[in-house]
Amino acid sequence: MSHVPVMLEEVLHHLAPAPGETHLDGTFGGGGYAQAILASGCTLYALDRDPDAIARGAALLARHPGRLHLLQACFGDMVSVLAEGGMTQLDGVVLDLGVSSFQLDEAARGFSFRSDGPLDMRMGHDGPTAADLVNTLPEAELADILYQFGEERHSRRIARNIVAGRPFHTTLALAEVIRKSVPRDPSGMDGATRSFQALRIRVNDELGEIERGLAGALSLLAPGGRLVVVSFHSLEDRIVKRVLTEAAGREARASRHDPASWAVRPTVAPYRLLTRGAERPGEGETRSNPRARSARLRAIIRLEGHPA
């Protein structure tokens, strides 16, 4: 496999996989993390909700018989999925959040506003599509989705124009209406970016999936086990930051810009943060891989003496 995920060196540094250990890649995607983790000699469980990703993993599966367990499932369901195979503790978990480059590049999946395709956006092959949402939801609910999940300031105008122009069945048709509804962004960002992000997040319940996945991963870590999470936009990173910070026994008070506003709880927490704030990719990586520019990595470890 030629796919190389973002911040691979940093992920491996914090995950620190070793022979004899058991790890989980909750977002298999193109198999880049999985291939690197398996090279350490450990056993790996890998999940992906996308059946196409599971099919792509066949070659890697054949090269690591008995050490790679590739399963089609949402990472938010990792506890129950692993329990079915008798696995209740892990030495490490890695999660690469958001949409994969394979999904973005395949026009037929409907994630991209740069090429025409059916208005789908499902990471799996079940449940309502983006077309179902834009063609059936009331204007106010559609506006709320664009604002909440896309942080789109012009959500009400966009929703009004979508309702007036529906039905929509293709990505380019929807993107054109959205672009006409918003002023040109000085940064050069495409006007459809935030709205497409919002619809994708809502279609796949991505934020709920992150909440479930983080809780599951923390509960599965054995003493000394590590969780590494790579996120790509502020909505994802806020959840990761909050959950990991609280797990480490810290809570935010008052201004997030004031270090004095962070308080340590009096009880000894079972986890310790491995990263001070969010780590970002190096300049060389962002030059060679533009997708890495927005990546943020956070990691945490379950302390010895605190069994899962």
> What tens digit of pLDDT does each residue of 49-74 get?
988 889 999 999 999 999 999 999 99
What Å distances lie between residue 121 and 82, 103, 162, 221, CA to CA? 27, 9, 17, 32
1 is a domain residue: no
Residue 125, pLDDT score? 79
Q: For residue 71, what are its two tokens?
A: 């399963």
Q: What's the mean per-residue pLDDT of the chain?
A: 89
Assess whether pLDDT exceeds 60 at residue 297.
yes
Average pLDDT over residues 139-144: 98
Tell me the pLDDT band of 235, cut-offs 50, 70 and 90. very high
Which is more confident, 307 or 200?
200
160 burial level (CB within 10 Å; 0-12, 13-18, 19+): middle
CATH number of the domain residue 215 falls in: 3.40.50.150
Q: Does the pLDDT of residue 2 top 60, yes or no? A: no
Q: Are residues 97 and 19 in the same domain?
A: yes
Give the domain range for residue 178: 103-204
What is d(CA 7, CA 182) in angstroms, rounded to the nearest whole number? 33
**pLDDT tens sequence across 185-212:** 888 888 999 999 999 999 999 999 999 9
Domain count along the chain: 2
Question: 2 lies in a domain?
Answer: no
Q: Is residue 157 part of a domain?
A: yes
Q: Are residues 110 and 195 in the same domain?
A: yes
251 with 107, same domain?
no
Rg of the chain in Å (alpha carbons): 20
Structure tokens of 25? 């890649």
By the 8 A CB rule, do 203 and 127 touch? yes
Helix (H, G, I), strand (E, B) or coil at 159: helix
